[in-house]
Amino acid sequence: MSVATASRVIEFREALREAMSEEMRNDKRVFLLGEEVAQYDGAYKVSKGMLEEFGPRRIIDTPISESGFSGMAIGAAMRGLRPIVEFMSWSFSLVAADPILNNAAKMLYMSGGQFGCPIVFRGNDGAGGQLASTHSWCVESLYANVPGLKMAIPYDPYDAKGLLKTAIQDDNPVFFLESERLLSTTGHVPEEEYTIPFGKALIRREGRDCTIISFGRPLHFCEEAAAELAKEGIDCEIIDGRTIRPLDIDTMVQSVQKTNACVVVDQSWSFASVGSEIASQIHSICFDELDNFVHRVHSDDVPTPYAQNLEQAYLPNARKICEAVRAATYNA
Amino acid sequence: MINIDTEPPQNSQGSGSRQARSFDSAPLPEKEVLLGWLRQMLLIREFEVRTMQGYQNRLIGGFCHIYIGQEAIAVGTIAAVNPDDPVVLAYRDHGHALARGMDPKYCMAEMFGRIGGCAKGKGGSMHMFDAEHYLYGGHGIVGAQTPLGTGLAFATKYEDEILHDGKSNHVTLCFMGDGALNQGCFYETMNLASLLDIPVIFVVENNRYSMGTSIERGTSMANDLHVKSEAFGIDHAIVDGKNVTELYSQFKPIADWCRKNSRPYFVEAQTYRYKGHSMSDPRKYRTKDEELVEESKDCIAFLTTQLVEEYDVVADAIKQMTHQVKAQVREAVEWAKNSPETPIEELYKDVFTDSWGPFTGTSAPEMLQDRGEA
Amino acid sequence: MTIEITMPRLSDTMEVGTILHWHVDVGDEVSSGDILADIETDKATMELQTFDDGKVVSLVVNEGEQVNVGTTIATLTGDIPAGGEAPLEELVQTSVPENSEVKSSASVTASKTEHLGSRVSPVARRLAEEHRIDLGTVTGSGPSGRIIKRDILQLVDTKTETTAAATTTQSSVVAGQVSTAAQPIKPLAPTAPWQEDKVVPLSNMRQIIATRLVESKQTIPHYQVTMSFDMDPLLEMRATLNEQLASSGVKLSVNDFLVRCCALAMSSNPEFNASFGGDCILYHGPVNVGIAVAVPEERGGGLVVATIRNADTKSLRSISQESQYLSNKARTSGLSPDEMGDTTFTISNLGMFGVEHFTAIINPPNSAILAVGAAIEKPVIRNGELAVGNEMSATLSLDHRVIDGAMAAMYLKTLKELMENPASLLV
């Protein structure tokens, strides 16, 4: 459930747009660049109407040159501007891996504190609908490994707006992972400006028997699973981490101390993943509080398939989450 | 209502038969300035000699790339732009840092891995940064600095148009070697620079070798490099990389034009590096004869001769200058040796600007604090 | 001013270099940039140039010689004013701290998993402790019998009273808990502690004892068999012999008799002189009886087992002498490994403290240990009539993998015959 109290209901994509627009009005140094963000109104209509309001100098269409325009944006950020770079898909960030990891994340360190990089990279992360393996990348586990960048994954429109505003205001590089599948979902978003701090997880559902930790789109699968499990008398507590870096392990730990069982749901592949990192931290901090080892649910360890039935089976779906919770609570 | 013209940008589309743009040579500045250039080149050379010595004595580790032979380019181009024009470099960056005005002691201390270094010892030889002198770093990945340079220039233009409402006051120098001509992001960058009318000059220091690969073996159209920039509608010029006064005369009008018209430029400076690609390169891929021929056309020798013959500078004055430079570099080495090792606590500093988890925020290096820039 | 030229590091992996050829001689003038020598490195042959102007004073390393990077290879006199040229020191490389692995002493392996019902989830273990539930009484419902939170909570919920079994050979376990969910135990009125808390690290001796005894108890299936012995005949003989041999300094103890009897009893009960060998039984030839000796705290405390080798071939007298010697040595300067090793059977005697009965822990690799109490005057039945006699209780602890009940009974029967007919020891 969202924590918003206003009656206004808007789409996830609108919430993103509002966040960017508000920040661009408040601070002239903020600008947006990416493929099709201006005249096309955004490949996914996130930046619709922004060209009219801010003009072609601040809403900039780029050619298909992720490496080039990411590097260019980073150079501008070094100078003190605050660019927002839209990747049409985080899958395309791979060709820009050198500038975003080697330059953005490391600039402050390499320059001995002289030049920071107040930049936001954002775009669709994770499986869309039958987009197949080269367009369905979940990059969180790849990039979260690198020190020097922050990473946020919003769950609903309220979080999308609040977290994106924080990301734009942050002086450090932020990787903002949205989901194509969530763009049309709606939720309550207040009229007035607000931000959501990084590093504070949120309890989406309170429960006694098992802690489920997740981020972004998979949280919706978790809620589906929790409803199913409630019928079996298993009461799940769902934690939305909201940001991977910084990670609010304390809130997660407190929950596990209460339930003594934990399942981590991470849409990336399992090997060396965010899920494995959280499980490892829970194991080390909650060692004496665990009734069972931390169970993990990931997408299957295969390239994302095209066929709909295969893709649905591949995702960290509600069925897999139910199985994991039952196993973790010895109800299998 | 802002004009959102739907016509494609014109400047980058080519015009069929393009005349090479030509400029009148810029007049040279006065003798004192030229003497200043000589001093800078002597400083760079002596500094690089002591850098080599430091490396062989294991005071400097990792990768280390020596600029000896190419001094005229750094000095001549930087002299042609303003002190607050942004500069970004590849990894053969000591010469440019000194030409920009960095005190050699901070540069040497950085290579020695000390807290007094310009990046507090956390960057090393390839990462010379100096915020006060608008030096946005040496960068290690070949070609990666080219989009950064475009971005810096983009930002200066944005500042003028959106933040301050004026014409672009800056031109950005983006240095690279001929090796970067083969890196994909450079082409993406030229495309962007041309499309967006960005005032950046790509200064290609063509020393004819990428590590051990001669340019003919690695770069197509090596004799006609201008086609690479023409492909993007960017003007091209070749300047003499060995003769600093010639270089300045040719380069200054280009820099002024870019600044005024907010357009990019591709300037090739032909030169030669006397030493290997880096400190572990035995230079088997070229002949001793070739090296000797190139070294006989030395940029410092050229300027010295020019000053003596055309400006009545006495040999003694030059000798004195040489001694001063050597002393200055000696002091820099001494200072660097005495600068303490970077404390272990610095490991977790400058990762993020804020403090959270194990990270302890950020602080400016001694170099900026000494100048009251902290 | 002398300038030292050292073997330079010409590649990032170079450790040593060889001078292939000197390009200069002593006395030559050189300027910065001149080549001094050709040097062979791990990667290639490189030229060494001088960074300074000067005159060659000495060439320290010969052509063909290989030296470490940093070694002086030549010297120049330079034109730099004294004090201006900094000496060429080498940076002391911050050494990578050696992995200071804490070498764990012989650790008790987690053989707990071999015990039934010993798999416990961490939170179940904690809950069991909090609610004073003995895990040994819990059946685990988790995989492979793992005890999980639910199992403990169920016990707590149904208000089951449990008593923690008291073990006799271990010390300081609080015995006899009763826990009901309804009424917590009211604590006694607090009194001043009779001593302060203190932590005393284990001496080597106690550490070894701890390890070996735990290992013994955990790996050997112990069981006990007790028998009483009519000690009157033996005590009488002992008194007689001691009187007769007083002048020779012989003083026989009951234990000496025990050693001989136990050793002799082996001949018809060879499995008592055996050890468990995994997939076989190892029958030993020599009968080496170990006697347990208490060691004073100043010497590390605990107890050691001294070996009386070939006890079946030795007379009472020599057993006595040896046993006295070893006991004293154990209490003073300590026993050598030879004096402590190779036992095949052990006797532990607490009779001198008045202990009636106790059980001992087998001393591996023995298969049995005899725990001997005091000979106590008590009413006995002799020939169908009540009389006063000296009875001694002795309890064998046995390894059920080697010795089964019937064998144990036979052995004790043999022993009893020997002990109650001590004259047989003389021949």
Q: Which residues of C touch B280 (CB under 8 A)?
A: 10-12, 43
The minimal CB distance from A67 to the residues B185, B351, B365 is found for B185
Considering only residues 292 to 321 of chain A, which have any Cβ-Cβ distance to chain C shorter than 8 Å?
292
Indicate if C409 and C366 belong to the same structural domain: yes
pLDDT digit string (tens) for B155-188?
A: 999 999 999 876 668 999 999 999 999 999 999 9
What's the gap in Å between the CA of B276 and the closest CA on chain A? 25
Predicted confidence band of residue B272 (pLDDT cuts 50, 70, 90): very high
Q: Residue C108, SS3?
A: coil
Assigned CATH topology for domain B21-273+288-342 = Rossmann fold (3.40.50)
Predicted confidence band of residue C96 (pLDDT cuts 50, 70, 90): very low
pLDDT digit string (tens) for C405-414?
A: 998 999 999 9
The CB density around residue C192, as the number of other CB atoms within 10 Å, is 4
Q: Most A CBs within 10 Å: which of C141, C149, C151, C153, as the mutation test of the A interface? A: C149
Query: Does residue C391 lie in a domain region?
Result: yes
Give pLDDT, residue B297. Answer: 92
Give pLDDT, residue B6. Answer: 52
Does the structure show a pLDDT above 80 at B69?
yes
Q: Which residue has the higher pLDDT, C242 or A18?
A: A18
Q: Most B CBs within 10 Å: which of C12, C31, C68, C85, as the mutation test of the B interface? A: C12
What's the gap in Å between the CA of A246 and the closest CA on chain C? 28
pLDDT digit string (tens) for A57-111?
A: 999 999 999 999 999 999 999 999 999 999 999 999 999 999 999 999 999 999 9
Predicted confidence band of residue C295 (pLDDT cuts 50, 70, 90): confident
Q: Which residues form the domain of C56?
A: 2-110
ipTM of predicted assembly, 2 dp = 0.88
Look at A111 and B352 and tell me if their CB atoms are within 8 Å: no
Predicted confidence band of residue C210 (pLDDT cuts 50, 70, 90): confident
Region B24-43 average pLDDT: 95
Q: Which residue has the higher pLDDT, C214 or B186?
A: B186
Q: Which residue of C has its CA nearest to A260?
A: C123
Query: Does residue C188 lie in a domain region?
Result: no
Does the structure show a pLDDT above 90 at C209?
no
Look at B56 and C46 and tell me if their CB atoms are within 8 Å: no
How many CA atoms lie within 13 Å of A288's alpha carbon, on the beta-carbon side?
6
Give pLDDT, residue B372. Answer: 67
Give pLDDT, residue A1. Answer: 45
Alpha helices in chain B (DSSP H): 31-56, 71-79, 94-100, 104-111, 145-158, 184-195, 215-218, 226-230, 244-261, 288-296, 299-311, 315-338, 366-370
Region B311-319 average pLDDT: 94
Q: Are A102 and A148 in contact (CB under 8 A)?
A: no
Look at A291 and C141 and tell me if their CB atoms are within 8 Å: no
Give pLDDT, residue C299. Answer: 72
Does the structure show a pLDDT above 50 at B374?
no
Domains by residue range for chain A, with CATH: 9-188 (3.40.50.970), 202-328 (3.40.50.920)
Give pLDDT, residue B365. Answer: 95
Give pLDDT, residue C336. Answer: 82
pLDDT digit string (tens) for A285-308?
A: 999 999 999 999 999 999 999 888
Distance, C-alpha C209 to centroid of its chain: 6
- To the query of whether residue C284 is one of the catalytic residues in this protein, the response is no
Q: Which residues of C touch B57 (CB under 8 A)?
A: 6, 8-9, 70, 88, 90
Closest to B86 measured CA to CA, from B155, B177, B185: B155
Q: Which residues of B touch A54 (CB under 8 A)?
A: 2
Q: Are A149 and A172 in contact (CB under 8 A)?
A: yes
Closest to B72 measured CA to CA, from B303, B307, B260: B303
B72-76, B342-346, C79-83, range with the lowest pLDDT:
C79-83
Region B99-117 average pLDDT: 96
Q: What is the dihedral of CA B312, B42, B68, C71, to 10 degrees?
A: 140
Residue percentage of chain A with pLDDT more than 90: 93
Q: How many CB pairs under 8 A join A and B?
A: 181
Give pLDDT, residue B347. Answer: 94
Q: Most B CBs within 10 Å: which of C16, C51, C89, C96, as the mutation test of the B interface? A: C51
- A74 pairs with which residues across the strands? none
Does the structure show a pLDDT above 70 at B14?
no
Query: Does residue C45 lie in a domain region?
Result: yes
Q: Which residue has the higher pLDDT, C81 or C41?
A: C41
State the chains in contact with B (3 or more Cβ–Cβ pairs under 8 Å).
A, C
Indicate if C103 and C130 belong to the same structural domain: no
A28-42, B226-240, C105-119, C277-291, range with the lowest pLDDT:
C105-119
Look at B334 and C86 and tell me if their CB atoms are within 8 Å: yes
Domain boundaries, chain B: 21-273+288-342, 347-374
Indicate if C248 and C392 belong to the same structural domain: yes
Predicted confidence band of residue C167 (pLDDT cuts 50, 70, 90): very low
Q: Are B187 and B180 in contact (CB under 8 A)?
A: no
List active site positions of A: 66, 135
| Residue C77, domain CATH | 2.40.50.100
Q: What average pLDDT is seen over chain A?
A: 95
Q: Which residue of C has its CA nearest to A257?
A: C123
Give pLDDT, residue C88. Answer: 39
Q: What average pLDDT is seen over chain B?
A: 92
Closest to A19 measured CA to CA, from A184, A168, A165, A147: A165
Predicted confidence band of residue C425 (pLDDT cuts 50, 70, 90): confident
Predicted confidence band of residue B12 (pLDDT cuts 50, 70, 90): low
pLDDT digit string (tens) for C219-276?
A: 899 999 999 999 999 999 999 998 888 888 888 999 999 999 999 998 788 888 889 8
Q: Are A316 and A266 in contact (CB under 8 A)?
A: yes
A229-238, A281-290, B260-269, C418-427, range with the lowest pLDDT:
C418-427
Q: Is the pTM of this model over 0.80?
A: no
Closest to B300 measured CA to CA, from B143, B128, B73, B122: B73
Indicate if C149 and C229 belong to the same structural domain: no
Q: Which residues of B touch A144 (CB under 8 A)?
A: none
Indicate if C325 and C412 belong to the same structural domain: yes
Alpha carbon distance C364, C345 (integer Å):
9
Q: Which residue has the higher pLDDT, C203 or B363?
A: B363
Peptide bond into A246 cis (omega under 30): yes
Amino acid at B372: G
Q: Tell me, yes or no, if B170 comes closer than 8 A to chain A by beta carbon.
A: no
Q: Which residues of C touch A288 (CB under 8 A)?
A: 122-123, 125-126
Q: Which residue has the higher pLDDT, C157 or B269?
A: B269
A267-281, B27-41, C159-173, range with the lowest pLDDT:
C159-173
Region B75-87 average pLDDT: 97
Query: Does residue C165 lie in a domain region?
Result: no
Give pLDDT, residue B9. Answer: 57
Give pLDDT, residue C186. Answer: 58
Considering only residues 266 to 295 of chain A, which have any Cβ-Cβ distance to chain C shorter than 8 Å?
287-292
Top-confidence range, A285-289, A292-296, C371-375, C394-398: A292-296
Look at A291 and C126 and tell me if their CB atoms are within 8 Å: no
Query: Does residue C181 lie in a domain region?
Result: no
Q: Which residues of B touch A34 (CB under 8 A)?
A: none
Indicate if C134 and C263 belong to the same structural domain: no
Q: Are B77 and B120 in contact (CB under 8 A)?
A: no
Alpha carbon distance B324, C406 (integer Å):
104
A215-219, A225-229, B288-292, C335-339, range with the lowest pLDDT:
C335-339
**Residue with structure tokens 């494995």?**
A276
| Residue C225, domain CATH | 3.30.559.10
Residue C385 parent element (H or E): strand C385-399
Q: Tell me, yes or no, if C138 comes closer than 8 A to chain A by beta carbon.
A: no
Look at C122 and A288 and tell me if their CB atoms are within 8 Å: yes
Region A17-42 average pLDDT: 96
Alpha carbon distance A259, A263 (integer Å):
11
Alpha helices in C65-221 (DSSP H): 122-130, 149-157, 204-219
Q: Which residues of C touch B279 (CB under 8 A)?
A: 10-12
Q: Tell me, yes or no, if A82 comes closer than 8 A to chain B by beta carbon.
A: no
Indicate if C315 and C383 belong to the same structural domain: yes
Q: What average pLDDT is seen over chain C?
A: 80
B100-104, B140-144, C110-114, C281-285, range with the lowest pLDDT:
C110-114
Task: Count how many domains chain C has.
Answer: 3
